[in-house]
Amino acid sequence: GAVVSQHPSRVICKSGTSVKIECRSLDFQATTMFWYRQFPKQSLMLMATSNEGSKATYEQGVEKDKFLINHASLTLSTLTVTSAHPEDSSFYICSARGRGGPPDTQYFGPGTRLTVL
Amino acid sequence: EDQVTQSPEALRLQEGESSSLNCSYTVSGLRGLFWYRQDPGKGPEFLFTLYSAGEEKEKERLKATLTKKESFLHITAPKPEDSATYLCAVQEGGNYGQNFVFGPGTRLSVLP
């Protein structure tokens, strides 16, 4: 149980294009989803938190107009990196928290490697 | 400000050589402490949740313990497949929905 999927697992795009990453909770309802980014050999850095049907809450320093988050249902959240630039290249990981299992536990997706040329 | 530190930064063990990883935290009130395992290029895999001092959880060769200031992840007779980065995260008490604060991780290498 508590499986979270992400798609795509890897994406390469040209500078200036937009990229959408999907995060799905496969066997539970995710009341809250989180988006993180991780640079090589560093820990996870929280970008934003989204609750189903509400606007996302962004961490300080994260541009909400650049990283668009939509949490349209209890099983799906999307992160769109708009007008991506090489400095946006990173490993993006989502997590989901929901009903069932140990309270407050976040279950993570496998991550999406974004490379912007 | 909430802080989470982990030590050592990296640990190299021989297969079968037991050891412990440390996670120290400072929060105004702990709601939960979480251990994850992360393999290179993958998302973190949930291991344990601990809620109160004195609590212990076990899974195969791993055992997590919690005190008021720190948590230990004990690895008994590790195998090469235990090689990974181990992350701890704390959640502050109070309002439901407080975000995790992650530690920097311990990179464990188990040599055959």
- Judge whether A65 and A6 are in contact, CB under 8 Å: no
Question: What average pLDDT does the segment B17-27 reach?
Answer: 95
Confidence at residue B97, expressed as pLDDT on a 0 to 100 scale:
52
Cβ–Cβ below 8 Å for A44 and B44:
yes
A1 to chain B: nearest residue by CA? B46
Query: Looking at beta carbons, which residues of chain B come within 8 Å of A109?
Result: 43
| pLDDT value at residue A24 | 95
- Alpha-carbon distance A85 to nearest alpha carbon in chain B (angstroms): 21
- Residues whose CB falls within 8 Å of the CB of residue B50, separated by 6 or more in sequence, listed in order: B32, B33, B34, B35, B56, B57, B64, B65, B66, B71
Residue B96 has pLDDT above 60, yes or no: no
Using the predicted structure, report yes or no on whether residue B55 has a pLDDT greater than 70: yes
Residue A87 has φ and ψ, to the nearest 5°, of -70, -10
pLDDT of amino acid A105: 87
Residue B53 has pLDDT above 90, yes or no: yes
Which has the minimum average pLDDT: A67-76, B11-20, B87-96?
B87-96
Whole-number average pLDDT of chain A = 91
**How many whole angstroms separate alpha carbon A58 and alpha carbon B78?**
39
pLDDT value at B95 more than 60: no
Enumerate residue ranges in chain A where pLDDT < 70: 1, 99-101
Residue among B32, B34, B43 whose CB faces A111 most closely: B43
Write down the pLDDT at residue B1: 65
CA atoms lying within 13 Å on the CB side of residue B80: 2
Contact B34 A6 (CB under 8 A): no
Which of B31, B42, B87 is closest, CB to CB, to A104?
B31
List of chain A residues whose C-beta atoms are within 8 Å of the C-beta of residue B42: 110-111
Give the per-residue pLDDT at B2: 66
Distance CA B62, CA B48 (A): 10
Taking one residue from A and the other from B, the number of pairs with CB-CB distance under 8 angstroms is 54
Q: Give SS3 for B51.
A: coil
Average pLDDT of chain B to the nearest whole number: 92
Is B52 exposed, middle or buried, given 0-12, 13-18 or 19+ CB atoms closer than 10 A?
A: exposed
Rounded mean pLDDT of B90-95?
73
- How, if at all, do strands A90-98 and A112-116 pair? antiparallel
Residue of higher predicted confidence among A114 and B91: A114
